[in-house]
Amino acid sequence: MKKPELLAPAGNIEKLKVALAYGADAVYLGGKQFGLRAFADNFDNEEIREAVSYTHKLGKKIYVTMNIFAHNDDFDGMKEYISFLAEIGVDDVILSDPGVLTLVRETAPELEIHLSTQANNTNWRSAIFWHEQGVKRIILARELSLEEIRTIRENTPETLELECFVHGAMCISYSGRCMLSNYFTGRDANRGQCAHPCRWKYYLMEEKRPGQYFPVFEDERGTYILNSKDLSMLEHIPDLIDAGIDSFKIEGRMKSSHYVATIVKTYRQELDSFFKDPNNYSPNPEVVEETKKVSHRPFTTGFYYKKPTAGDHEYSTSKYVRNYDFIGMVLDYDSEKNMALIEQRNYFKVGDNIEIMRPDGDNLNYTIEKMYDEDGQPITVAPHPQQKVYIPVDEPLSRYSILRRLKE
């Protein structure tokens, strides 16, 4: 039985390092051009170079997105960009446009290609077609059931890898090919500029009553007519493996370091637990509960077991559930002084009861009793964004440990 790859999002260099520290086997990121997350921090060329070097030193892989549906002028500078990615040793590029695929094969035939979910691959015949065009891995459409994925696996060569989303936000449009954003705002979702209109609140206007807006009153079915719940397959890892999926993909290049750390760690723990004893495996409820400590919507299993119904959408609100505040990250730990250097991410103070999540080991419950500024002077609050403070902690803390506080 092959252990699937755990693939994590990297919205910037910090999130990349966090994802790898918490157990990701590979990361995917976007450059400043040619990807579908134009509003993520994204990476300039030198940052991509740094990311490749850092990732490879850990023996892990790095994939770069080029999955726009390209217009003619989008090809300006693309050949040079492809050459750069090949030169620095990017493991694979993720694309969806046949024209982009052709240019990659012409420019850097050594670069391996992953086909984006944007290409809407829903059957084994098209999977074989893309494999014959040089595609190493297909990121399958989100609309497939586990049974359909199993059929694709059974009818495609072993040299073709299958990747599926297992956790994160679900696009309401067919595998993400949304036209609403462009129509409403002029921001083309298929070129990386989605305005997320599927999360908006809508009103009705009758044709003969222009200017009179009627709210869609909430009843037992609610008011948000497009808003999907978040995908979570953490409790169904054996089924995903049985279907023949080679890579478990976590969505979230726009999410926080806290989100990336938490979700990667939970899937790492459950994957490792399953492979340690497959016959007696069952999901750990405490690990599953961890996924609810980051910003999220209510969870669904998407299309994996059935066609989604009203119960798989969130009609009452488009707001996220946020039970914890991400208040800081460990930058360093002095084992002689038992002192952790913390970078502040949200206001905290002496007396706060917090939880510390570590890349390795169990979470720690801790009360902040003392705190010092960078000059070693006692302080009682850390009010400034990215302020660096020292906190005495008896147990050693790895870099990228996360400090969070339950909301009152």
Q: Take residue 100 and report the two structure tokens written for it.
A: 């982009």
From 312, 337, 371, the end of a domain falls on: 312
Shared-domain flag, residues 306 and 346 = no
Is 221 a domain residue?
A: no
Shared-domain flag, residues 285 and 337 = no
Least confident of 15-24, 117-126, 134-143, 180-189: 180-189
Specify which residues 168 forms β-bridges with.
Answer: 231
Kindly tell me if the per-residue pLDDT of 286 is higher than 80.
yes
Shared-domain flag, residues 151 and 276 = yes
pLDDT band at residue 310, thresholds of 50, 70 and 90?
A: low
Kindly tell me if the per-residue pLDDT of 98 is higher than 50.
yes
Shared-domain flag, residues 67 and 120 = yes
Three-state SS for 333?
A: strand
Shared-domain flag, residues 66 and 160 = yes
pTM to 2 decimal places: 0.86
Shared-domain flag, residues 288 and 392 = no
Shared-domain flag, residues 240 and 373 = no
Higher pLDDT, 163 or 34: 163
Shared-domain flag, residues 286 and 330 = no
- 111, 102 Cβ separation under 8 angstroms: no
pLDDT recorded at residue 264:
98
Kindly tell me if the per-residue pLDDT of 37 is higher than 70.
no
- Per-chain mean pLDDT for the chain: 89
CA quadruple 203, 206, 212, 217: dihedral positive or negative?
Answer: negative
Is 397 a domain residue?
A: yes
Is 214 a domain residue?
A: no
d(C-alpha 329, C-alpha 258), whole Å? 9
Shared-domain flag, residues 19 and 135 = yes
* CATH code (residue 376): 2.40.30.10
Shared-domain flag, residues 330 and 278 = no
Is 185 a domain residue?
A: no
From 312, 337, 363, the end of a domain falls on: 312
Higher pLDDT, 316 or 254: 254
pLDDT recorded at residue 228:
72
pLDDT recorded at residue 223:
46
Can you give the C-alpha Rg of the chain in angstroms?
23
Distances (CA, A) of 194 to 173, 197, 236, 319: 12, 8, 30, 18
Kindly tell me if the per-residue pLDDT of 71 is higher than 60.
yes
Is 203 a domain residue?
A: no
What are the start-end ranges of the H helices in 186-251? 237-242
Higher pLDDT, 268 or 195: 268
From 312, 341, 375, the end of a domain falls on: 312
Higher pLDDT, 55 or 120: 55
pLDDT recorded at residue 204:
63
Least confident of 53-62, 159-168, 173-182, 248-257: 173-182
Reported as a single tens digit per residue, the pLDDT across 199-231 is 666 666 667 767 766 555 444 434 445 567 889
pLDDT recorded at residue 169:
85
Is 318 a domain residue?
A: no
Is 193 a domain residue?
A: no
Higher pLDDT, 367 or 199: 367
Shared-domain flag, residues 72 and 94 = yes
Total domains present in the chain: 2
Reported as a single tens digit per residue, the pLDDT across 338-354 is 999 999 999 999 999 99
Shared-domain flag, residues 384 and 243 = no
Q: Tell me the residue range of the domain where 368 lies.
A: 324-406
Q: Report the relative pairing of strands 203-204 and 214-215 from DSSP bridges.
A: antiparallel
Is 286 a domain residue?
A: yes
